[in-house]
Amino acid sequence: MSLSPPSRPGTPDEPAAASDDGFGLRFAFPLMLGTSLNPVNSSMIATGLAGIAADFHLGPGPAASLVSVLYLCSAVMQPTMGKLAAIFGPRKIFLSGVAILLAGGVMGAVAPGFQVLLLSRALIGIGSSACYPASMALVRRRAERLKTGVPSTVLGNFSIASQIVAVLGLPLGGVLAGAFGWRALFLVNVPLAALALVFAARNVEKDPPAKARGLKGSLASVDPPGIALFALSVVCLLQFLNDLDHPAWPLGAIVLVTLAAFIWWEWRTASPLIDVRALARNPALCRTYIRQMLVGLGVYASMYSLTQWLEGSAGYSSFQAGLILLPMSAVSMILARLVSLRGWVRGPLLTGNLALMGGGLLMLTAHEGSPLILVLLTTGVLGFPNGLCNFANQTTLFVQTSADEVGVAAGLFRTFGYIGAIFSSSVIALSFGDHVTDAGFHHMGWVVLTLGALTVLTTLFDRTIPTTVSQDKDSDTADNSGTATEGTPR
């Protein structure tokens, strides 16, 4: 991995606000806040759907489109924003994305009609999608310049921040919607985005001057045809996966055609959105994406099916179900912090995969009269894959990609996670059918157990996953039994 010499303290490229290792709180805070804005908006809106539907005289279906539009925009825009960050600079894209999100928050807070509200959610999805890939690129740029190795603590903080807000999103949304109405769910983005803007503008170093390309050259570098084909493929795929109970086969055919056209175009264009030739040379990165999708599918399938089973079969209230899920969140955050501080990767990844299998086995033993301790044990065990696998896969991706490609790679990493999350809803619908029963929950247990076994196999036989990552000065190495960056495109 090629490293640039570190800047001297006090130079414009290295602000005094940075800590000794270059990753102090003033640098990391706006990035952590920015990467949290997408998951918090994903979960928070659920508490306001009923009020929105009532105010605009809508049914539950149209109101729920506020949820899906953010997922769809995020799945498409994450790698797109990574591409823009590589062309124009990650700091510019981060600040621009947060500004778009802020505008979306204001628009939603004053929306006179549902169509404007839908547009505001799209803007929130687009804007928040810039934060994670741009943040990964900013961290990588600083790590290479300062020769700090892999900043696993910062990467762990990204995972922890997202987990915290995903947990707090529902109760926070409930408090805001209950006290101030559903418009507060949009308005809360304004102070959060303003904080991220101010801190990032002050404490994140400016991008180097972008290459002069002219309008035609800039458009060619962005790859509009690739973005359009990718967007069409992803949107159709997610729509198809969202209702496997009644498969829309023509939509599935469109996915295959547009995906083939996308690969054909990206293979031949000079500046592709996603360099499929580099992906073909980097099977290790492809395996990381597949692991992330399988883990995401397993975690979301177990979590969502568990909450439905608790309320629909086991007799718990929604409030009690929320409390029962707290061990999962607590275990996730504690473990993510523990392994990120030590730079452990392969061991935690395998442990999380085995725990996913364990969660599936515990789901198979559950029934309507199961004691609370068994249910709490299940949620605690499922905290292992949620806390360990996301960090480990994210860190593995960090060492499997070059600095120029980490933004797009990180965005695509999130897209695969969204595919797993949306696919989980269809798997749950197929397992439960019209009614939530113990038998349906056991079907989900077999699904989770199988997904855990698949992730174990993809980890055991992948020798490119680093055992640990070094955070020492003048070191960018990853200690593993193979080569962490095998097949990495340069």
pLDDT at residue number 12: 39
pLDDT at residue number 478: 53
pLDDT band per the 50, 70, 90 thresholds, residue 425: confident
> Domain locations in the chain?
15-205, 224-268, 278-490
Mean pLDDT of 285-293: 93
Digit-coded pLDDT (tens) for 128-165: 999 999 999 999 999 888 888 778 888 888 888 777 77
**Residue of 180, 171, 195, 179 lying closest to 40 (CA atoms):** 171
Q: Encoding tokens for residue 385?
A: 């894959």
Mean pLDDT of 378-401: 91
pLDDT at residue number 218: 65
Digit-coded pLDDT (tens) for 182-192: 999 999 999 99
pLDDT at residue number 11: 39
**Do the domains 15-205 and 278-490 sit in the same CATH topology, yes or no?**
yes
| Mean pLDDT comparison of 93-97, 233-237, 424-428, highest-scoring range | 93-97
Does 350 score more than 90 pLDDT?
A: yes
pLDDT band per the 50, 70, 90 thresholds, residue 175: confident
Identify the residue with better confidence: 273 or 164. 273
Structural fold of domain 278-490: Growth Hormone; Chain: A; (1.20.1250)
Mean pLDDT of 39-46: 81
Residue 343 CA to residue 163 CA, distance in Å, equals 19
Digit-coded pLDDT (tens) for 102-129: 999 999 999 999 999 999 999 999 999 9
pTM: predicted TM-score of the whole model, two decimal places = 0.82
Does 395 score more than 50 pLDDT?
A: yes
Percent of the chain whose predicted confidence (pLDDT) is above 90? 47
pLDDT at residue number 112: 94
- Under 8 Å between Cβ of 349 and 459: yes
Name the CATH superfamily, with its identifier, for domain 15-205: MFS general substrate transporter like domains (1.20.1250.20)
Digit-coded pLDDT (tens) for 193-232: 999 999 999 999 999 887 756 556 666 688 899 999 999 9
Q: Cβ–Cβ contacts within 10 Å for residue 307, how many? A: 17
pLDDT at residue number 14: 42
pLDDT at residue number 3: 34
Mean pLDDT over all residues of the chain? 84
